[in-house]
Amino acid sequence: MQGLMMDYPLIINNILEYGNLLYPDKKIITKLPNGLIHEYQYRDFYKRVKKLANVLKNLGIESGDRVGTLSWNNYQHLECYYAIPCMGAVIHTINIRLSVEQLTYIINHAEDKIIIVDATLIPLLEKIYDQIKTVKHFIVFNTDKIETKIPNILYYEDLLSKEVDDYTWDLQDEKQAMGLCYTSGTTGEPKGVLYSHRSMYLHTVAQSQTNSLGLNTRDIVMPVVPMFHAMCWGLPYSCIMSGTNIVMPGPHLKPESLAQLIEEQKITISAGVPTIWHGLYHELKNNPRDTSSMRYSLVGGSAMPRGLIESYENDLKIKVLHAWGMTETSPLGTVSILNENHEDMSQEEQFNYKSKQGYPICGIEIRIVDDHGKKLVWDGETMGELQVRGSWVAKSYYKVSPNSESFTDDGWFRTGDVATITSDGYMNITDRTKDLIKSGGEWISSVALENELMSYSGVLEAAVIAIPDSEWFERPLALVVAKEDHNLTEEQLKAHLAKSFIKFWLPDKIIFTTEIPKTTVGKFDKKEIRKKYWLKE
Amino acid sequence: MQGLMMDYPLIINNILEYGNLLYPDKKIITKLPNGLIHEYQYRDFYKRVKKLANVLKNLGIESGDRVGTLSWNNYQHLECYYAIPCMGAVIHTINIRLSVEQLTYIINHAEDKIIIVDATLIPLLEKIYDQIKTVKHFIVFNTDKIETKIPNILYYEDLLSKEVDDYTWDLQDEKQAMGLCYTSGTTGEPKGVLYSHRSMYLHTVAQSQTNSLGLNTRDIVMPVVPMFHAMCWGLPYSCIMSGTNIVMPGPHLKPESLAQLIEEQKITISAGVPTIWHGLYHELKNNPRDTSSMRYSLVGGSAMPRGLIESYENDLKIKVLHAWGMTETSPLGTVSILNENHEDMSQEEQFNYKSKQGYPICGIEIRIVDDHGKKLVWDGETMGELQVRGSWVAKSYYKVSPNSESFTDDGWFRTGDVATITSDGYMNITDRTKDLIKSGGEWISSVALENELMSYSGVLEAAVIAIPDSEWFERPLALVVAKEDHNLTEEQLKAHLAKSFIKFWLPDKIIFTTEIPKTTVGKFDKKEIRKKYWLKE
């Protein structure tokens, strides 16, 4: 017997309408490419979203069509985040840091019909425009007129100015696709995750829960995480549902600019990858600012080194909220908020918890399993492959079949991460399954070694990989970048590691270098590192 | 084109599993009928829920069957709130304050197969047991052995003790009915609202949003609102999703007992109707307690008089969170949390806002319309019928057809309330459509007059109704109960009202009485009042 409740769909349109109705005065503030500040209110944003929906309709975009975006974080991109899915199409957020080959591949794979592009990224588009055959129109913003070899350029503001600011949404199916985001996997071609309105809506509500990000009308949120990275962690939707002010840094991701925005705009929550926080920490240490408005820095994308969490909290009095997710999980999966049980712990133990990726938010289930798929115990020690399922987790990739490698037979997504989970549900990623060092029948966590190395005062960055070993099968090798004016020796670092790890875990060799290769989203590119060092040793 | 995200149903089972997994140590504390405290943890609760599911299955309960509960707020009732829907059946929470005729009517209408009953309510059940033919078993708790004329009594603890604490849920359909609650309307037979797992799940998530009730792991919640009243406002589900401790007052609803629980259990949130807060206020004034743990008192069911909100905040330093909902809305619809725009207002203006019912939480849409169904402006002045729609709003009543009176052609529920809405979305109920006084072509709000009368220091309670008038069609009549040791005159009160209202609004007559008739849920019973005074005047 079914209940007798209204059939009211969970669609992005309702977030837009709610935000406009309840919070018309709230602000969206963008630092433009020229450094000036653009500011308008939800009520203005709302009208322009409806105009953009009309633009797309009149250009022939139909339900389910993909519309690509090539842009930094700014208000125009936010307009795309709403207009495209609300009128029934699919926003494909293109990662501008991909290689030309990958860009061409994903645009052709997505079969984008229109690409909306930030004027500053026209040079990038020029490299590929003649290889992406499905794209009928390029719409450029942040310019009135641009010199380019790309034919048939349309101008965003010009198009909007010709449309009315009314549009009657006709979307009803909450399972309709709303967004497409490709993962820049370290192996194989990028794979697309196709979000539905329902999945993104539920993700959005979850982010506003007090046990989750706790967004509310008093927040001023600055997403530093790019809008082309895992749907900007869902913030474009959860901020508007929760009525926060939104501050968009545009292309200005240098620490100085971010520090200035935090102080001037009185940011309460900022979100980004550890690399960003690393740079910002040094900026704020060297040029102190008033950052007292900050409730917390949301960190994800890769693990925040424990030392950096401590530095933020102790030196800058800024709380760090460590979270975990993947493109395949919309992305928010876990958050590391301490609860009242942790209050009696020593500061040392509390930082242990804060450096974990945290507990699953309600709607997400996690488990760890061994090589045979057997579920492992939550004791904070046992390592296993992290698997996840829930309302906002992918069940397959776009136009990829079969997906058996990434999904289990019983319906869980295989993250490729290796993790432990404490008895109170705090998950800690110890490695990627690919990066785990399998030595003499034991597992050695490359991430644990990296974090310990990076906690040493003279170390700027450290990466650990496995190298082949005839006796032990694999052994750890460490790459270390020293901070300026620091002379480090292998012996010093090994002695440091020996305080925390058994001898068998210590890298056989530590190599000093000037830079560690990184992926387009700022993670250590272990594939590249292995390419360079695996065979040489 | 549909998204490629997991088909993960929104079902109560997931709340139960999440609560047990993340918060096994959290406590459920009950004040038993004998005054002793029963305390156990989520982990114990979880096992007993599974045992109860086995009990029901073995007694022949199948998917969609209705299982009635006749009980106060206690841990056994909470077990029913989960075991019944999680195993696929429908929990029918029976309002113990209904008349014998109504009780018989709703149990027969619901066709309950089993009734689970608190031993203290066996005398009530004895009055009707032989008229409710569909009920095959009565399961009694809070006793090992009871003397009763009801045949074939089963004992809750006895049944549970024979079952294993494991049960594999097989529910998949989120639209499956999970709960049935009858509204004690002031006219006609009670009507049943049939909740689905999906609607209740979405309602639960919404309650944990920071812009809503903001429940979180640090809360200790005491639902004083009965579990037979509008699903206990959803708290049995949202508390467990959010990992709060839960304190159940059992049958002990006297102010002294509640005050003691607040102090001893360090309650952070309590929830109940204004009548409860009224009594508690006087108790706390006369016998002060440490209530500093309180984050807020959640008030709904009927409007909290503004004077009482002020008294709580000024005299007791307890914040009041005014909310609105109905059985048909699961029930949470609106909450009156002030935002940063209200901070610059005078305390007077702030209390004006706090005494409104507040803004719709995300997932709920509200509108006001005139007699012709035309949508009215949100200016805080214009009064219209309040209509509502959303994910957790009823679309029809159980086994009632057609429902045209309560639902509009375009899919909104007609609340029967008359309200204003400010431009920033704060709704204020000014009357029931039935209670609105239509005088000389103008509308006079009975609720506004009542609130103003009750703000006068010597007034304990005041109710205003319409009485027929040959010249004006209707005119207001006020009933007033004076506080002990207060001598009031009609002239005093009219002079008081004249400060806030135009002369035309003032009641033609004010009658002093010792008690105002109330419904089973503590609201003024205007039907009864009209019966008594309408013709006499």
CA A332/CA A392 separation, integer angstroms: 9
**Neighbour tally for B384: CB within 10 Å:** 23
pLDDT band at B468 (very low <50, low <70, confident <90, very high): confident
Preferred mutation among A2, A5, A26, A175 to probe B, highest tally of B CBs within 10 A:
A5
A438 is catalytic: yes
Q: Please compute the mean of the pLDDT values over residues B199-206 and round it to a whole number.
A: 98
Least confident of A358-372, A511-525, B315-329: A511-525
Residue of A nearest to B241 (CA): A362
Is residue A24 pLDDT above 90, yes or no?
yes
Tokens 């979307």 correspond to A171
The first and second tokens of residue B377, run together, are 């402006």
Is the pLDDT at A186 greater than 60, yes or no?
no
pLDDT digits (tens, 9 = 90+) for B141-162: 999 999 999 998 999 999 999 9
> Are B368 and B392 a contacting pair, CB within 8 Å?
no
Q: How confident is the model at residue A185 (pLDDT cuts 50, 70, 90)?
A: low
Instruction: Tell me the mean pLDDT in the region B213-218.
Output: 97
Average pLDDT over residues A132-152: 95
- Residue carrying the six token digits 């009128």: A87
The size of the A-B interface in CB pairs under 8 A is 190
pLDDT digit string, tens, across residues A120-139: 999 999 999 999 999 999 99
What digits encode the pLDDT tens for the residues A305-341?
Answer: 888 999 999 999 999 999 999 999 999 999 999 999 9
Exposure string (b/e) for B203-233, b if CB count within 10 Å is 16 or more? Answer: bbbbbbbbbbbbbbbbbbbbbbbbbbbbbbb
pLDDT value at residue A536 = 45
Instruction: Report the pLDDT averaged over residues A400-417.
Output: 88
CA triplet B515, B517, B523: central angle to 5 degrees?
115
What is the C-alpha separation between B416 and B433, in angstroms, rounded? Answer: 5
Nearest of B485, B473, B487 to residue B439 by alpha carbon: B473
CB < 8 Å to A178, chain B: 3
Which helix (H) or strand (E) segment holds residue A37: the answer is strand A37-41
Binning pLDDT at 50, 70 and 90, where does residue B138 land?
very high
pLDDT the model gives residue B187: 58
pLDDT class of B536 with cuts at 50, 70, 90: very low
State chain B's mean pLDDT as an integer.
94
pLDDT of residue A471: 82
Nearest to B357 by CA among B334, B383, B380, B384: B334
Q: What is the mean pLDDT of residues B434-441?
A: 79
Q: Is the pLDDT of residue B169 over 90?
A: yes
Q: Which of residues 412-431 of B touch A (CB under 8 A)?
A: 413, 424-425
Distance (Å, whole) CA A63 – CA A82: 14
Task: Supply the mean pLDDT for chain A.
Answer: 94
Split at pLDDT 50, 70, 90, the class of B403 is low
Most confident of A182-191, B232-241, B453-462: B232-241
Look at the block and give the residue holding tokens 């993962």: A183
Kindly compute the dihedral angle of the four CA atoms of residues B205, B207, B211, B214, in this order, to the nearest 10 degrees. Answer: -100
pLDDT of residue A442 exceeding 80: no
* Radius of gyration, CA atoms only, chain B: 23
Through-space distance between the first and last CA atoms of chain A, rounded to whole angstroms: 66
Q: Which pLDDT tens digit goes with each residue over A488-510? A: 999 999 999 999 888 888 998 99
Instruction: Give the model's confidence band at A535: pLDDT under 50 very low, under 70 low, under 90 confident, else very high.
Output: low
Minimal C-alpha gap between B349 and chain A (Å): 19
Query: Does A204 qualify as catalytic in the annotation?
Result: no
B340 Cβ contact partners less than 8 Å away, ≥ 6 residues apart: A217, A218
More confident of the two residues B186 and A449: A449
Q: Which residue has the higher pLDDT, B55 or A519?
A: B55
CA angle at A286 for the pair A285 and A290, rounded to the nearest 5°: 60
Catalytic residue positions of B, numbered: 183, 328, 438, 443
Phi, psi of A163 (to 5 degrees): -110, 155
**pLDDT (0 to 100) of residue B537:** 39
Contacts of B422 in chain A (CB under 8 A): none
The two beta strands, A332-335 and A459-469, are unpaired
Is residue A119 within 8 Å of residue A146, measured between CB atoms?
yes
Dist CA A533 CA A525 (whole Å): 12
Q: How confident is the model at residue A75 (pLDDT cuts 50, 70, 90)?
A: very high
- My answer on whether omega of the bond before B331 falls inside 30° of 0, hence cis, is yes
pLDDT band at B177 (very low <50, low <70, confident <90, very high): very high
pTM of the model: 0.90
CB contact under 8 A, A25 and B390: no
Is the model's pLDDT at A439 over the cut of 90? Answer: no
Q: Kindly state the DSSP code that residue B120 receives in the 8-state scheme.
A: G
* Predicted local distance difference test score (pLDDT) of residue A524: 85
Stretch B379-393: mean pLDDT: 96
> What integer is the mean pLDDT of B7-25?
97
Given a cut of 50, whether residue B119 has pLDDT beyond it is yes
> Residue A319: exposed, middle, or buried by beta-carbon count in 10 A (0-12, 13-18, 19+)?
middle
At residue A537 the predicted structure's pLDDT band, cuts being 50, 70 and 90, is very low
Per the omega criterion (within 30 degrees of 0), is the bond before B226 cis?
Answer: no
Model pLDDT, residue A474: 86
**Token reading at B109:** 């209408």
A339/chain B closest Cα distance in angstroms:
7
